[in-house]
Structure 1
């Protein structure tokens, strides 16, 4: 099945109830199975510029490089091209944002978080920097697949604070890694097997800071037959709880398998486990 037939994708973004403008940027490319979500930071609309650059670089560069290649192809290091493209182009976006901030005083200090994923060969490769997240609903199990690059997450990991106390912390928005702040950045990348029926949620922290994970998961599960309504309801929940930040969501439902086409020799090798 073609990737655009195997996946259903919807996205929504909203400025929230407090902010006068929206510094989040989202996009997806159904033909590639690519999603990108960025949450910008910086004064005088600089965050909007940073997130826009990140989304533009990822979407255009990945599409360009996949015109004559497949994401499951191996690169020169033995890594799959899909993973390499996400990592390398997050780094490319980072440098573009950093240079823009250095050359234009009004953009000094701007940056963005990012979570981006490429669905291919019955898997999903994900790269992220900061605290924008990817969740997965599989059956009745809803879990956060990415790990925040934040001070709060480091405190949880070191045992300094419990997950329960973390919900009340005032340090939720202190990220330890962001795109565009320094000349170099280290995106975290992973590849996960997918199953038909999975639903993946990508969101900025404007959602999960305002809505508990349990309520997010329940909403996605209850409205999984109508992803557009689910996205609308998630944003409404965030705004009903205060909407202190911009809130963006991308939902991806896996409707069918999308294994990469293989020749007879590759199929034969897979049958014998080689």
Structure 2
């Protein structure tokens, strides 16, 4: 399996600075991460950068098989090693952001969403906190792989709000879970089998708030050039208003 990736981040048309960050797979690492920071006085960009740094460092400092590494051999649960490694990396990020926010008044209350993917032979793990999303485009169909940790989504699940009404819900961007707001955080993780030709999209809500899923599905049809496609998506989000920072990663599975 070969993984081809492209990523892009943009400040949008209304924000003064970019609080998003992302990390692209390098070599055989097969790790991709998008983070959407929050907090005043530019602390959001500190939170997202800090989370990315903690996740990547954890991956680089732990062995693939976990042998001899106490951080992976603590017997916490029965997850597969690949799944547990991804979840623990995000937990490390949560602790790093929370500690920084607790120790500095400047960073008080900062946090970030995280959506990540880790590709292995034949499959991919998605782990996330918040409302940044992962999608799969396969055989002309786009499907969301993560479930938003947001007030709007909670209301939909409870039957208080209809899915069709989310777009006009005044608190649709209120998230119920984020990285760095508490000492411990629950990380949602799913595994999906991959097929040659699959295209995966990780993105902040600056993209999905500006482009509907149906429009995204249409735009992803031509994915021969991922760098070009990334720019097309960002440009479209900006044309549609660009109300927030826009960040995305495209990852294509090839033979």
Same fold (TM over 0.5): yes
Is this contact kept in 2: 1:151–1:175, CA < 8 A?
A: yes
CA distance in 2, matches of 1:200, 1:29: 13
Is this contact kept in 2: 1:131–1:204, CA < 8 A?
A: yes
State the Cα deviation string for residues 134-185 of structure 1 (Å, max 9, x = none). Answer: 0000101111110000000011111211121111222121000000011110
Is this contact kept in 2: 1:29–1:59, CA < 8 A?
A: no
- Paired residues for 1:81-100 under 5 Å: 81-100=81-100
Partner of 1:164: 164
TM-score (norm 1): 0.87
CA distance in 2, matches of 1:9, 1:94: 26
Greater displacement, 61-70 / 25-34: 61-70
Q: Which runs of structure 1 show a deviation greater than 6 angstroms over 4 or more consecutive aligned residues?
A: none
Asked which structure has the greater CA Rg, the reply is 1
Is this contact kept in 2: 1:24–1:51, CA < 8 A?
A: yes
Gap runs ≥5 in structure 1: 257-274
Query: Does residue 244 of structure 1 match 2:240?
Result: no
State the Cα deviation string for residues 75-116 of structure 1 (Å, max 9, x = none). Answer: 644422111111111111111111111111010000000001
Query: Does residue 32 of structure 1 match 2:43?
Result: no
- Paired residues for 1:1-274 under 5 Å: 1=1, 6-30=2-26, 31-66=28-63, 69=66, 76=75, 77-221=77-221, 223-256=222-255
Secondary structure at the residue paired with 1:40?
strand
CA distance in 2, matches of 1:9, 1:225: 12
The alpha-carbon distance between structure 1 residues 67 and 84, as it changes in their structure 2 partners (threshold 3 A), is closer
Is this contact kept in 1: 2:65–2:81, CA < 8 A?
A: no
Measured after TM superposition, the shift of residue 69 of structure 1 is 4.8
Root mean square deviation, CA, Å: 1.5
TM-score (norm 2): 0.94
Count of aligned pairs between the two proteins: 248
Measured after TM superposition, the shift of residue 63 of structure 1 is 2.2
CA distance in 1, matches of 2:63, 2:224: 31
Measured after TM superposition, the shift of residue 28 of structure 1 is 1.6
CA distance in 1, matches of 2:210, 2:169: 13
